[in-house]
A and B are shown apart, each in its own frame.
Chain A
Amino acid sequence: MGFFKRKHEPKKVPEGRVEGFYKVTGSGKYAAEYKLENVCYAVLVGSTIAAGEIVDINTDNAKDIEGVLDVLTHRNRPQIPAFADEAKAKRAGFSLPVLHTNKIFFRGQPVALVIAETLEDANYAASLVTVSYKTDQAKVDFDKEHATVPIAATGKERGSMDAWSNAPHIREQAYTIRNQVHNPMEMHATIAVWDGDKKLKLYDKNQGVNNVQQTISRLFDIPPANIEVFSEYVGGGFGSGLKVWSNVPLAIMAAKQVNRPVKLMLTRPQMFTLVGYRPQSWQNVRIGADANGKFLGILHQAKHGTSVFDNYGEGITRISRLVYNFGNLKTESATVPLNLGAPTWMRGPGDCTGAFALESAIDELSYDIKKDPLQLRLDNLAVINDPDTGKPWSTNFLNECMTKGAEMINWKSRNPLPAQTKEGEWMIGYGVANGMWFAGRSKASASIIMQKDGSITVQTAMTDIGTGTGTGMQNIAHLELGISHDKIRIKLGNSNLPAAPSQGGSTGLSTISGAVAAVCDALKMKLAGYASLQDAIYKDAKPESIVLSDSGIAYQQAGNHLISFDKIFSKENLQTIEVEASSGPGEERQKYAFCSGASHFCKVRVHTKTGKVKIDRHVCVVDAGYVVNKLAAANQVSGAAVGGIGMTLSEEQVVDSTHGCFIGGDLAGYHFAVNADAPIIEVDFINKIDPNINPSGAKGVGEVGIIGAAAAIANAIFHATGKRLRDLPITPDKVLLAKS
């Protein structure tokens, strides 16, 4: 099912992503779309209380429905081997409730799974399952609960808090953000197919097939090699696919129970409770500066929600340790257990939340000092060394991002005073904020299969959730090998392919580019080995002395000692040439600190009478090292900025503490940005290679486009109106009611 295996080869496919044809024709298969004989459908029933236990559960009515095959509950579900005893369950590292207990931890927790011949049967039957509960007091009100949770140091303290207690300028403010939900457009789905007792095929939506394979292996006590996970097309993730959620083991259990392939696709409301969210948070930032605006110190405190059954912590205060020079620094955090579903990493986890507070506080300080917020930032940036480890940044061009962005939005033309610029009943304002994300890299493997005609397939287990991984791999292989793009096929998202980590945290391309470079070298050396049997000059060849092209292998320069691939293949009687290689980070990680950076600039208009906020312009300049594919990278950044617009202005999963639940959990009640909410996002790159991070010199771009975006918008709203909004999302009611 490689990206290039076309059913109907079109006459001419326009240039673009390797998988573009399949996406625009709808022929790429996402998890729930594989056609399998005898498949049946499962629909989850969620609890209607947030805490307590199931007293009785009646599935008779559901079972009476024509077409219903079975209804699983905690009473009759097949045992998950890893849940056989406490110790095993701990080792499995899987804490989500999957019908293994009668205890209820959150509203929407799976309490029954209806399996039926058709989706229509299953859906109707699911509505007939009735449950009676013993209800306990649920904790869902973050605002109320967090006050009772003590805060503790996180990370090493720098200097002391006393050293700047008399600083000429000190700002201390609290910032809050409501629950926000990933909501990738494809709902999480799994088709589970057993082959006997010990072999399993999973067609699943996730961001890492090997992670699914390993987790399911531990849960069901099956060797990983017996589990094949297919995730060739993944309809977005934003972090929700980094974890194996309950739908996967539940589909596997159901398939076991009815001895048929079972398809389980979550409903959109279930996407709000069962596959994570960015937890509600409270932050307090105290920041001090001298009379010239040199930062003297910072205290950054953060608390955020987690579930009562699975403690999840995200490093909200991390960003304060990285971007600017603070000689004195203290960071503290705590998690607040709640009877809600489990939160998880969501685009720019931790830093995205932290940056809103940090970059808002800096902005507030700038107006206190009466110093241009752009200049204040520039003066305090830590672009030489990572202030936390003291290691030199491998590359950090955040200052250049700021300068370039300022030019693009014409920052100079901005009135330094807030609430001054009016157009009719609209007030105009500009805001700036920075974002940073660690530029991580993991170990991954890739392989190449070469055909007689010189065409190659580069493959890895890594998924492409929409970032353009496959296209990036193709570009790198082309650059490394010289083989033209149309002869390079890409195969991804299958656990049988060379192992790779999950795609997340903006590490995908950074990680896989190393593996692709390594496997390209391996191919060169393998070809050189065959070539040396025909021409001795290839005997001592190194990868850098080999030049490949569509016509064959050459020495040092194209055409020199050329041996065609055909000749190598026929002489050695080869069908294919296959090589595999791995690559991961090395000692460069000891020497350097790595980061991607972004500067966000925003021009907003705010209506004085209605509180409506309209984003006129949004500029994002990114330092992401070498840009492997500008179109896809810019798309990532502009998409993240659109995510930032939603995060800032409209995204909120409302919690009703009376009824202990999320309210309005669907796409009509939860407002992420539609097309009309965003202007055409203006994106540019510094595009300077990072010589140390990996062979491609590329750093990740997925997160930095959203980290800092919220503060840039909130800062612009302040500049427009003189109103400081410290609680996201900034809906029109808050703008209207805020005092300037």
Chain B
Amino acid sequence: MEKQKYSRRFFLSTSAMAATLAFIPVGVKAFYNNVKKLVIPLKEKMAIKLSINKAKYNLTVDTRTTLLDLVREQLDLTGTKKGCDHGQCGACTVHVNGQRVLSCLTLAATVQGKEVTTIEGLSQGSELHPMQQAFIECDGFQCGYCTPGQIMSAVGCVNEGHTHSVEEIKEFMSGNLCRCGAYNGIVQSIQKVAK
């Protein structure tokens, strides 16, 4: 049963090993290839049911697919941004069950049964969410690439109640890097909404 997970083709894993093998007679090499094998793991697919922005999705995903790559590459929800892919910038922030989290460090298959909200699902119908409105009014962005993550995080920051002072907002928004440095407007947007 385990076998089915692997390709039938055998292969060597390192060039160092290949180099060593260059000095070994062909027959022995073939034998070696068969015995000292590293098998190719085949990708694992899973059928999953997700709820994203209140829409239901029945999908078959590679177990490796992150929530971030799923929404961006397969569902055309490109509002969620990839800024580092390693949990170091906050651009991919989404809400899972109302909590702000990083979609780059979340496997898509692990959010079954949970409600995922991306920037595309933040506003209700044709109305902008107050935080989106505030970001426009306070010019809380420049290039706009970190903006969806900032906004999702800002909504989390307000919901968590970390808005008592400029310093507190700044600390609790420090998980969202903005290389344009539009921090003035980001803080002002949050103050406006938190009022």
Contacts and interface: CB of A to CB of B under 8 A. Distances in A.
The answer on direct contact between A and B (beta carbons under 8 Å) is yes
Contacts of B89: 185, 268, 667
B29 to A, nearest CB: 14
B15 A29 contact: no
Centre residue among A13, A24, A235, A681 by max chain B CB count within 10 A: A24
Interface in A71-111: none
Contact of A675 (B69, B83, B120, B187): B187
Interface string A234-257: 111110000000000000000000
A221 B148 CA distance: 39
A653 B59 CA distance: 42
A419 B76 CA distance: 57
Contacts of A183: 179
A209 to B, nearest CB: 16
Nearest to A680: B184
Given A120-B65, A130-B14, A672-B179, A186 B83 contact: yes
A268 B88 contact: yes
A57 B16 CA distance: 11
Contacts of B184: 634-635, 638, 680-681
Interface in A612-656: 631-632, 634-636, 638-643
B40 A631 contact: no
A268 B179 contact: no
Contacts of B120: 25-27
A680 B64 contact: no
B15 A64 contact: no
Contacts of A449: none
B181 A678 contact: yes
A182 B149 CA distance: 20
B95 interface: no
A186 B143 contact: yes
A185 B64 CA distance: 24
A16 B85 CA distance: 30
Interface in B178-195: 178-187
A501 B144 CA distance: 22
Centre residue among A26, A132, A634 by max chain B CB count within 10 A: A26
Given A33-B72, A64-B9, A667-B84, A678 B183 contact: yes
Nearest to B19: A132
Given A25-B120, A132-B19, A184-B179, A639 B142 contact: yes
A21 B181 CA distance: 20
Interface in B117-132: 118-120, 123, 126-128, 132
A133 to B, nearest CB: 10
A631 B145 contact: no
Interface string A533-576: 00000000000000000000000000000000000000000000
B158 to A, nearest CB: 15
Contacts of A197: none
Contacts of A11: 126-127
Interface in A1-46: 8-11, 13-17, 19-30, 32-33, 35
B112 interface: no
Given A61-B11, A667-B88, A681-B184, A186 B79 contact: no
B180 A25 contact: no
A60 interface: yes
Nearest to A9: B126
B41 to A, nearest CB: 9
A640 B181 contact: yes
Contacts of B72: 33
Nearest to A33: B78
Contacts of B118: 26
- What is the size category of the interface that chain A forms with chain B? 35 or more
Contacts of B84: 268, 666-667
Given A186-B145, A236-B142, A680-B187, A666 B86 contact: yes
A681 B137 CA distance: 18
A19 B88 CA distance: 27
Contact of B82 (A27, A130, A265): A265
A118 B181 contact: no
B52 interface: no
A26 B148 contact: yes
A243 to B, nearest CB: 18
A187 B92 CA distance: 13
Nearest to A27: B79
Contacts of A24: 119, 128, 132-133, 135-136, 141, 144, 147-148, 151
Contact of A26 (B73, B79, B139): B79
B115 interface: no
Contacts of A124: 64
A19 B143 CA distance: 10
Interface stretch (A222-230, A388-396, A463-471, A590-598): A463-471
B60 to A, nearest CB: 12
Interface string A454-466: 0000000000011
A65 B7 CA distance: 9
Given A130-B15, A185-B177, A121 B43 contact: yes
B126 A64 contact: no
A681 B184 CA distance: 7
Given A56-B15, A666-B88, A14 B133 contact: yes
A732 interface: no
Given A268-B88, A640-B181, A17 B170 contact: no
Complex A-B, nearest 3 residue pairs according to Cβ-Cβ distance, in ascending order: A26-B79, A642-B181, A235-B145
Interface of A: 8-11, 13-17, 19-30, 32-33, 35, 56-58, 60-61, 64-67, 118-121, 124, 128, 130-132, 182-187, 233-238, 265, 267-268, 465-468, 631-632, 634-636, 638-643, 666-668, 672-676, 678, 680-681
28 contacts: A10-B128, A15-B137, A16-B136, A17-B139, A20-B135, A21-B128, A24-B141, A24-B144, A24-B151, A27-B120, A28-B144, A56-B18, A61-B40, A120-B64, A182-B179, A184-B179, A186-B143, A236-B143, A466-B141, A631-B139, A635-B180, A635-B184, A639-B142, A642-B181, A666-B86, A675-B176, A676-B170, A676-B173
Interface of B: 7, 9, 11-16, 18-19, 40, 42-43, 62, 64-65, 69, 72-73, 76-86, 88-89, 91, 118-120, 123, 126-128, 132-133, 135-137, 139, 141-148, 151, 166-167, 169-171, 173-187
